[in-house]
Amino acid sequence: MRILVTGGAGFIGSAVCRYLVGERVSVLNVDKLTYAGNQDSLREIEKNAHYDFLKADICDRAAMDAAFANFQPDGVMHLAAESHVDRSITGAGDFVNTNVVGSFTLLEAARAYWSALPPGKRENFRYLHVSTDEVYGSLGADGLFQETTPYDPSSPYSASKAASDHLATAWGRTYGLPVVISNCSNNYGPYHFPEKLIPLIILNALHGKPLPVYGDGCNIRDWLYVEDHARALLTILTRGRVGEKYNVGGRNERRNIDIVRRICAILDREAPTANKREKLITFVADRPGHDARYAIDATKLETELGWRAQENFDTGIEKTVAWYLDNEWWWRPLREKVYAGERLGLVGAA
């Protein structure tokens, strides 16, 4: 099997590439290498015969046409995106460009390629559009996001992802492109860029820096270990029903403040200091449009396709902290970049 992965140098995309190559799937990773793309995350597979890399922008139609023509994929996993909510608030243009225009360009290139496939290959082709639960907006204290939950995005990021989900659905209904969509909850794990909540807190706590927490810290996210997401995506691409959506999540709801405290406790145990790291917690003005709660109902994926999250949050967060303690070579150069402008006030929520 041959899969064209977009955004494979990012956090989730690199986990997907590592997983697919381990499953002996041939991968072409198409990535523009923005600030969030990092080839170091692919070091363990970069020389593998099943892996190839193309530096290209998904907004570049000619480059996408050439990628399809040269690689001849059996399927696409589209992950390339601008993904950081805080950056979308201060600079929405890149989000509209990559997430909407880029997704449109990729759909058009995929459609042209797929339309010209010979019978046999054509029916088996799949286009997996990878999205987020943030398109559903915010939940109250009760309830879970279903696949049928109406879209109600709050941030420029989630609005741009919602727009791209609608484009993908329309390309399926209008042109017959065999599209499947996944909407996943917040991911965490190794190789997560140090501006996102969990790696930011781990590394700030290690360095004795303030631990910025938005508002009162009571916003709830539903956390999934990134390797569980990678497995879910291959399951959905190969066995999901065309035209369907699948929610992906591991039933691990946590308040932001509880995550920060947990990380502090793990680090106090693993790398003791004179003062408890919780003292570094600094509440900062809330993010505008900050959704209160996300929580995924993944029953459809679990019952129809037999996928289940393998990692629960308590073990996953231990593994994640241990990974950051062991892999300074990976995060040190990125952290120096992130802190070039001391962007502390801007970060702190997933």
Q: Using CB under 6 A, pick the residue from 34, 39, 48, 238 that binds ligand NAD.
A: 34
Give the pair of three-digit tokens for residue 308. 């289940």
11 interacts with ligand NAD by CB under 6 A: yes
Q: How far apart are CA 250 and CA 46, in angstroms?
A: 30
DSSP percent split of the chain into helix, strand, coil, nearest 5: 45, 15, 35
Indicate if 133 belongs to the active site: yes
| Residue whose entry in the numeric block shows the structure tokens 């066995």 | 239
Indicate if 134 belongs to the active site: yes
DSSP-derived letter for residue 97 is I
- When the beta carbons of 195 and 302 are compared against ligand NAD, the nearer one is 195
Q: How far apart are CA 36 and CA 255, in angstroms?
A: 26
Q: Are strands 220-225 and 253-255 parallel, antiparallel or unpaired?
A: antiparallel
- When the beta carbons of 31 and 227 are compared against ligand NAD, the nearer one is 31
Candidate ranges 17-25, 32-40, 252-260, 321-329; the one touching ligand NAD (CB under 6 A): 32-40
Q: How far apart are CA 348 and CA 339, in angstroms?
A: 13
- When the beta carbons of 227 and 277 are compared against ligand NAD, the nearer one is 227
Catalytic residue among 82, 133, 227, 291: 133
For the CB of residue 249, give the shortest distance to ligand NAD in the complex, in Å: 9
Helices assigned H by DSSP within the chain: 11-22, 61-71, 85-90, 93-95, 103-115, 121-124, 156-175, 197-206, 226-239, 256-270, 299-305, 313-326, 328-338
Indicate if 157 belongs to the active site: yes
Q: How far apart are CA 8 and CA 15, in angstroms?
A: 8
- When the beta carbons of 277 and 293 are compared against ligand NAD, the nearer one is 293
Considering only residues 311-350, where is the footprint of ligand NAD by CB under 6 A? none
- When the beta carbons of 94 and 268 are compared against ligand NAD, the nearer one is 94
130 interacts with ligand NAD by CB under 6 A: yes
Candidate ranges 77-85, 169-177, 231-239, 271-279; the one touching ligand NAD (CB under 6 A): 77-85
Point out the residues that are catalytic: 133-134, 157
Q: Which residues bind ligand NAD (CB under 6 A)?
A: 6-7, 9-13, 31-34, 36-37, 57-59, 79-83, 98, 102, 130-132, 161, 184, 186-187, 193
